[in-house]
A = this chain, B = another copy of it.
Amino acid sequence: MIASLRELLVSFADQIETWSDTPTMAFTHIQPAEPTTIGYRLAQYGQDLLIDFEELTRVRAAVRGKGFKGAVGTSASYKHLLEGRSLTPAEFEARIMAAIGLEAFPVATQTYTRKQDWLIAAAIGSLASSLYKFAFDLRVLQTPPIGEWSEPFGSAQVGSSAMPFKRNPVNAEKVDSLGRLIGRLIGVLWDNASHSILERTLDDSANRREVFPVLFLGIDEMLRVSRRLISGLKIDRAAVASTLERYGTFAAIERLLMELVKMGASRQDMHQRLRDHSMAAWNAIARGADNPLVHDLSHDPDIVAYLPTERVAALLDGADYVGDAPERARALARAIRLQLAQGV
């Protein structure tokens, strides 16, 4: 699982760098908000997965066994067997565990504490959550009215027979389906840890045989499919640019307002005027027209009285209004590569 996650992170780092500068509309409430870059959006998943990588690596390294402590964890029979030898049960246990290459819990009952199962589950659950979100976002962006991203499709692969061009995000849907399963199953391991009584009850046994394979096989499949999704991710530049063109200028109005005021215009007057233009443009778009906002604002006499037409248009360029998203995206990609290189 961790090896697969490493490969996935490399693919994310690659894509983050490839797309670090490409502007795209960000969505909040599934509504166009302000521009960001594709690489910066991908960096969110990358950051989440990097956190998961740290969690899983740490949890993996901390896994301990029960050790050799007998039926209730007291080493009573070992102590008796070792009587007369210069070897305590703890030393005896340490030797065997060293040979196995696994640390032992200092105290244990008939089993190691089932809390460990929960900690493993919580980390796997966290990874499942990251992949769920990535796959879900992809499914939203793949809906044709947005149509910006899509999963890779083989040339031989067809949609439905009636609609050969149809591209259903069946791989992303599978990731989400399995993620949902894992998001509930991990609770069983919380239950087991909580409900074991005194020095152990066997009420964890039957369900662990089901839960552990499903968790591990499920997350492996999620990782495998996710890697295909990210490494073969299709991005339709034209669709991305089209959404940005349609909605991005609105976000840049804030910048125009700041400049107009700086040039001496009345904040209150300009706020109202920009608002009126915005509403008109929005309604035009809703009717299917092209976004008239840049033209309208850069030809409004009351506005060009303060800023030349070209400057107004430049200030309204949403593609240019992405802050330091490119730098932050690239820095995150470097952080991924650095962490993977450290072999942690």
Contacts and interface: CB of A to CB of B under 8 A. Distances in A.
Interface string A115-130: 1001100100110111
A173 B203 contact: yes
B144 A143 contact: no
A309 interface: no
A323 B166 CA distance: 22
Given A129-B118, A133-B194, A72 B28 contact: yes
Interface in A32-62: 32-37, 40-41, 43-44, 46-48, 51-52, 55
Contact of A146 (B35, B108, B145, B181): B145
Nearest to A287: B238
Q: What DSSP secondary structure best describes chain A's contact surface?
A: helix
A282 interface: yes
A27 B335 contact: no
A85 interface: no
In this complex, the interface size class of chain A, counting residues with CB under 8 Å from chain B, is 35 or more
Interface in A69-100: 69-81, 88-90
A125 B202 contact: no
Given A181-B211, A199-B36, A170 B29 contact: yes
Interface string A256-272: 00100000000000000
Interface string A127-161: 01110110011011111111100000000000110
A198 B30 contact: yes
Contacts of A137: 197-198
Given A40-B73, A79-B323, A107-B44, A162 B328 contact: no
B107 A332 contact: yes
